[in-house]
Amino acid sequence: MKWQEVRELFPDKFVLVSILQYHEEDNKKVVDEVAPIRTVSEQDANKEFFRVEPGNVVYHTSNPDFVIHLRKDPLM
């Protein structure tokens, strides 16, 4: 499912999604396809963000694009 479709189904919500397809541009992961798993309450969003399984992300549908900024250099 495209991110725009998720935004239409779950307006102004935090959503737990599985990332199915993405591509990288510069230092960004641009997500192309996702599988929504469930909505997440605002109260639980931060906790869920750090507990997700690899390949899953909690993201808010107010964001017009699904972009994850990547760090190439580790923190010193």
33 occurs within a structural domain = yes
Which stretches of the chain drop beneath a pLDDT of 50? none
75 occurs within a structural domain = no
Q: What is the pTM assigned to this prediction?
A: 0.87
Nearest CA-CA partner of 2 in 64, 68, 70, 69: 64
- Domain range for 10: 3-62
> What pLDDT is stored for residue 76 in this prediction?
57
> What pLDDT is stored for residue 72 in this prediction?
76
23 occurs within a structural domain = yes
Number of domains in the chain: 1
52 occurs within a structural domain = yes
CA 21-39-13 angle, to 5 degrees, is 95
